[in-house]
């Protein structure tokens, strides 16, 4: 993990994640999350968490990845994630296990950056291989 200043592309991703968080549909947990995915073509695809009464919720990270894949994008370089109690400032919000596994499907684990933000002037940057060592890779 690296603690780094927020600038350049990371700033752009964080700003997009902030806006995506505002779209969260989270009437059950009241915990809103935004994610912004940097695709290898340079585009940014965002996602927010989407809940439902049966608690079959979709995380912001998987929402963003699913949107990107549905647009024909298959390779990603980084994702910025921020979340917290709805209406309150963000706190560090690491991806859940399911999201980490989905990231492993489309990303190079040693190179893919997961950027976590808590409304301060710095962010924490992890590689996917740090957060999901020895991921399941199928047959
Ligand atoms: Zn998740």
Closest Cα to residue 15, out of 49, 38, 42? 38
Task: Tell me the whole-structure pTM to 2 decimals.
Answer: 0.93
Is 126 part of a structural domain of the chain? yes
Active site residues: 61
CA 106–ligand 1 middle distance (angstroms):
15
CA of 130 relative to ligand 1 center, distance in Å: 16
Q: How many domains does the chain have?
A: 1
pLDDT level of residue 1 (50, 70, 90 thresholds): confident
Any domain includes 137: no
Ligand 1 centre distance from Cα of residue 49 (Å):
9
Measured CA angle at 22 (ends 16, 25), to 5 deg: 125
Tens digits of residue pLDDT in 54-111 = 999 999 999 999 999 999 999 999 999 999 999 998 888 999 999 999 999 999 999 9
Q: Which domain holds residue 88?
A: 2-131
Please give the distance, rounded to the nearest whole angstrom, from the Cα atom of residue 115 to the centre of ligand 1: 14
pLDDT, residue 42, reads 95
In a domain, 139, yes or no: no
DSSP state of 94: P
């Amino acid at each position: 993990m690296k603690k780094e200043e927020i600038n350049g592309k990371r700033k752009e991703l964080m700003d997009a994640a902030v806006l995506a968080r505002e779209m969260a549909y989270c009437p059950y947990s009241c915990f809103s999350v935004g994610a912004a995915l940097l695709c290898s073509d340079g585009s940014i695809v965002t996602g927010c968490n989407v809940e439902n009464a049966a608690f079959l919720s979709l995380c912001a990270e998987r929402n963003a990845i699913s949107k990107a894949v549905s647009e024909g994008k298959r390779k990603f370089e980084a994702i910025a994630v921020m979340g917290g109690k709805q209406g309150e400032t963000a706190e560090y919000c690491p991806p859940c296990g399911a999201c980490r596994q989905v990231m492993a499907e489309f990303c190079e684990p040693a190179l893919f950056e997961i950027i976590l933000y808590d409304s301060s002037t710095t962010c924490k940057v992890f590689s996917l291989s740090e957060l999901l060592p020895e991921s399941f890779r199928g047959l």
